[in-house]
Amino acid sequence: MSKNLSPDVSECLELLETMHVIRYAEEQLGEDFAAGKLPGGVHLSVGQEAVAAGICAHLTDRDQVSSNHRGHGHFLAKGGEPRHLIAEIYGKQEGCCRGMGGSLHVADYSKGIIGANGVVGAGIPVATGAALANLMDDDGSMTVVFFGDGASNQGVLQESMNFAALWKLPLLYVCENNQFGQFSPTATVTAGVISDRAKAFGIPVEVVDGNDVRAVWQTMARATDHIRSGNGPMFVEADTYRIRNHFEREHLIVQTPYRSQEEVEKMRRERDPIKMLQEWLKAEDLADNETLQAIDEQAKTLVKEAVAFGDAGTPPPLDVGLKYQFAGTYN
């Protein structure tokens, strides 16, 4: 239980780099979409990077992460390679899923990234099964499931929490409350406080400022302690804000505004998790401009290389769907 209560400087700088990588990768994908370069759509998590970074900082390859349609950040924070992410979203066979899944399904099972998911809420049962595997393995591994405030209205969340509480599954629920489910403000479709639902199952809850990466990190330090000690699940509601559109196609299909531009700009100015960490590091005299600049550049370079890798990739063979559908093997 001798876990640090706060991330030290080097941990903070790692968190910063992770958030930068996610941000640069996603901004690139936003540009690519606008330029008509992407075969499919993308849901970007700009403004929410602190949740993925702060949570995944405490996980190893033996732990599983199950995620949702806004899953690039979870993939990268959990150790997925930026070049495998970009190539996948470009539909190239060099991608993490060989171009079969794309943005909605990025996964790298060798790193415990057991899949983004195109069906809202569907990552929750999958995570519940993974956590059952963790329990049966009895090796201290755990599973994290990321989902949105919208997904919390799916029945499977309540089913899963019942399972997890009953069986003491090593499962962390992370609800990223980004204030919207598609084009509906959360309060218009969701009754009560989401994390209160976990309390009904006797699951311990923490509500955290999801834009404060240090706070998320600290919450996760407590959560891993609780879960890895065999005490069963925990529920974290991370309060955050989606800066960009629901998906990049939004402006083409949504005519009625569901939030004000001023609100978005204010959040961008005042609640950007990257800026918040940078400013804190400077105010505390823990990092100077030069250090911060170097980390920024490093992340930018990594993403540039990833894009070059994706550009140089090749489309998969035409009949590949038939090939990957079944393992076709018997034990």
Partner 1 sequence: MARLRLIKAINEAIREEMERDEKVFVLGEDVEASIFGDLRGLFEIFGKGRVRNTPISENTLTGMTVGAAACGYRPVLHIMFANFLFTGMDGIANQMAKARLMSGGQIELPITIIASYGGGRANAAQHSDTPYSAFMNLGGVHLVVPSNPADAKGLLKSAIRCNDPVLYFEPAGRGGEMGDVPDEEYLTPIGKAAVVREGGDLTLISMGTTMRMTLQAADRLAEQGLECEVVDVRTLAPLDEDTICAAAARTGRVVIVDESRERASAASQIAAVIAERSFEQLKAPIKRVTALNAGLPLAPASEQYLLPSVDKVMAAATEISKNVRVSE
Query: Is residue 2 a contact residue for partner 1 (CB under 8 A)?
Result: no
Strand partners for 65: 113, 144
Q: For residue 85, how many C-alpha atoms fall within 13 Å in the half-sphere facing its CB?
A: 30
Using CA atoms, how far apart are residues 307 and 159, in angstroms rounded to an integer?
40
Using CA atoms, how far apart are residues 116 and 99, in angstroms rounded to an integer?
14
CB of 319 to ligand TPP, least distance (A): 28
Instruction: Out of 22, 65, 96, 208, point to the residue binding partner 1 (CB under 8 A).
Output: 96
CB of 106 to ligand TPP, least distance (A): 15
Closest CA to 172 of 86, 231, 116: 231
Residue 291's binding partner, choosing from partner 1, ligand TPP, none, with beta-carbon cut-off 5 to 8 A by kind? none
Q: Which stretch binds partner 1 (CB under 8 A): 34-42, 134-142, 185-193, 228-236?
A: 134-142
Q: Which stretch binds partner 1 (CB under 8 A): 17-25, 108-116, 196-204, 257-265?
A: 108-116
CB of 119 to ligand TPP, least distance (A): 5
The residue behind tokens 């090796």 is: 139
Query: Is residue 101 a contact residue for partner 1 (CB under 8 A)?
Result: yes
Residues within window 264-323 making contact with partner 1, judged by CB under 8 A: 321, 323
Residue 12's binding partner, choosing from ligand TPP, partner 1, none, with beta-carbon cut-off 5 to 8 A by kind? none
Query: Is residue 136 a contact residue for partner 1 (CB under 8 A)?
Result: yes
Strand partners for 145: 66, 173
Closest CA to 144 of 210, 227, 80: 227
Residues within window 148-167 making contact with partner 1, judged by CB under 8 A: 155-156, 159-160, 162-163, 166
Phi, psi at 130, each rounded to 5°: -65, -40
- For CA atoms 76, 104, 257, 29, the dihedral sign is positive
Closer by beta carbon to ligand TPP, 70 or else 214: 70
CB of 230 to ligand TPP, least distance (A): 30
Using CA atoms, how far apart are residues 245 and 247, in angstroms rounded to an integer?
5
Using CA atoms, how far apart are residues 321 and 81, in angstroms rounded to an integer?
23
Are 93 and 99 in contact by the 8 Å Cβ rule? The answer is yes
Closer by beta carbon to ligand TPP, 18 or else 45: 45
CB of 145 to partner 1, least distance (A): 9
DSSP assignment letter at 110: G
Instruction: Out of 109, 185, 249, 279, point to the residue binding partner 1 (CB under 8 A).
Output: 109
Query: Is residue 107 a contact residue for partner 1 (CB under 8 A)?
Result: yes
Query: Is residue 97 a contact residue for partner 1 (CB under 8 A)?
Result: yes
The string of DSSP codes covering 264-328 is HHHHHHH--HHHHHHHHHHHTTS--HHHHHHHHHHHHHHHHHHHHHHHH--PPPTTHHHHHH---
Query: Is residue 324 a contact residue for partner 1 (CB under 8 A)?
Result: yes
Please work out the total of residues on this chain that contact partner 1, with binding judged by CB under 8 A: 52
Query: Is residue 326 a contact residue for partner 1 (CB under 8 A)?
Result: yes
Q: Given the rule CB under 8 A, which residues bind partner 1?
A: 64, 66, 93, 95-101, 105, 107-110, 114-115, 117-119, 122, 124-134, 136-137, 143, 155-156, 159-160, 162-163, 166, 321, 323-331
